[in-house]
Structure 1
């Protein structure tokens, strides 16, 4: 039988104020550059999440912006007249809206999950260690801000009515105890079989 081992500490996420500032900053520079720096927010996201999908989106965003610039650069004159120029403009502005939407959604989701993982780790570190095989108190699984309802009193039956005594309600045994019991039963059966064979 092996234990679960010690969990690695989870790095706490940055403060909410800093995260909001960074999100606003990268969105503003992308919009103010008319989509030319849209790849910067995607690069930040890829560096933070380290997912291959986000790295692929950095390359795709950069390629769309570069192609849009090339198509706009081939436009003769100062105004857009050709389908290539309109396509370049559509690539620059059209890639900006989905990039901003994905950036904000993925960044918020990533740091929300990171904050939850950090909170869960902190709760497990603060929970008291209990002796093996003894029942856990009802507050052990509760989070730091989760109120635990008080135990409801068991209603007493009136003494005047004779009735069969009801056994107290049994708490379900934790899964680990059931597993240990099953292993002990198997070991007992194994030892009995070998004892009968002698």
Structure 2
């Protein structure tokens, strides 16, 4: 069974020099066109960040530029003389200034977050992609449903010293007493008989 795997590292942002060049290019185009192309900055920002807020601001800037063109186009001559013309001019310049300020701030902040995420090795949440699932962690022994089996430590065996059983002392005749003479006399008689037997056997052999 395969897990989620490791999250892919975030893509590093372009070099700072290239980003500065792109910002200057879009701001310069908007200024040279007197604000008629101010919506291009917000369009690029919305494509890069993929945020709904940036897409909404792009639509608002585009609508403001179209409305200002309509108001300025309703002037009877080349000069602005009516209230509608002044309103269209103010709307055009106001949209230009607001678009430049927001574009530069949001673009710098976005790529700064990407750079920090690339250094940390994690994808940035502002890039518009869903966060990858984190790899599953092994269950902790403290939160497991079944308690681990614990083996009791072995009990050390202490040898029990062997105590010899005292033997009763051998009965010895009390001092001052001698063994019965009957046994001595019997042994002496047997020796005498043996001596007589040997003597007779010797004499018979001769």
Q: Name the CA distance, whole Å, in 1 between partners of 2:78 and 2:69.
A: 14
Alpha-carbon shift at residue 5 of structure 1 (Å): 3.7
CA positional deviation for 1:183 = 2.1
Deviation at 1:121, TM superposition (A): 0.7
2:32 and 2:147 map into 1 onto residues whose CA distance is 75
User: RMSD of aligned C-alpha atoms?
Assistant: 2.4
Corresponding residue number in structure 2 for 1:63: 63
For 1:91-110, what aligned pairs fall within 5 Å after superposition? 91-110=91-110
Distance 1:113 1:51 in 2: 14
Q: With CA pairs under 8 Å and 6+ residues apart, which has the higher RCO, 1 or 2?
A: 2
Matches within 5 A, 1:5-154: 5-121=5-121
Runs of 4+ that moved beyond 3 A:
none
1:183 aligned counterpart, secondary structure: coil
Unaligned runs of 5+ in 2: 123-136, 151-206
Aligned residue for 1:188? 147
Shift of 1:91: 0.8
Q: Which has the larger radius of gyration?
A: 2
Q: Distance in 2 between matches of 1:106 and 1:112?
A: 10
- The TM-score with structure 1 as length reference comes to 0.62
CA distance in 2, matches of 1:24, 1:98: 16
Question: Within 2, Cα distance between the matches of 1:22 and 1:7?
Answer: 30
SS at the partner of 1:187?
coil
Separation in 1 of the partners of 2:98 and 2:5? Answer: 43
Quick check: 2:141–2:147 contact (8 Å CA) kept in 1?
no
The CA deviation at 1:181 is: 3.7
- Cα deviation code 1:68-87 (max 9, x no counterpart): 01000001111111110000
Per the alignment, in what secondary structure is the counterpart of residue 6 of structure 2? coil
Corresponding residue pairs, total: 135
Within 2, Cα distance between the matches of 1:182 and 1:109? 42
